[in-house]
Amino acid sequence: MKMLFTLYLLRTVNFPFFPCNGYAQVIPKVRSPLLRKMSLVKITALRSSTLKAAKAIPDYNFRSYFVQHTKDRFTAFDASKASAEEVVAFSKKSEELLAQMRRMALITALYAEQKVVLDPRSKKSPSESSPAPEL
């Protein structure tokens, strides 16, 4: 009974290897609904932080590309049907892309940007376009 409880404990804690006769046997991971929900929450948080980082890029063309790319990437990935390994791989890759995007936003902000007609951020307010005459 104690051995069965130990095996159950190792499987629920996601311990990947269980030594048996000097060899390591791979035990399939049993994912509980709570762990599945936690991974979905993590994927959702990654999506929102990646979108936030994409929207922080000053250049209109890069910003619109990365916002659309992020939306497409997370829409295409269905975490509810993916295996545990796929979710882990997707989250690692997404974290790497998030770090790259944050660096890109920081570096791009250091340089002067060219104004683009389509960019709503580059439109000047009426007070900025024509200075008020001094009396």
Q: What is the pLDDT of residues 24-55, one digit of tens each?
A: 444 445 456 666 677 788 889 999 999 999 99
Question: Across the chain, how many H-helices and E-strands are there?
Answer: 5, 2
Q: Span 104-131, mean pLDDT?
A: 72
Q: How far apart are the first and last CA of the chain?
A: 93
pLDDT of residue 66: 95
pLDDT of residue 98: 95
User: Strands 17-20 and 23-26: what pairing?
Assistant: antiparallel
pLDDT of 4 higher than 60: no
Instruction: Return the percentage of the chain with pLDDT > 70, whole number.
Output: 61
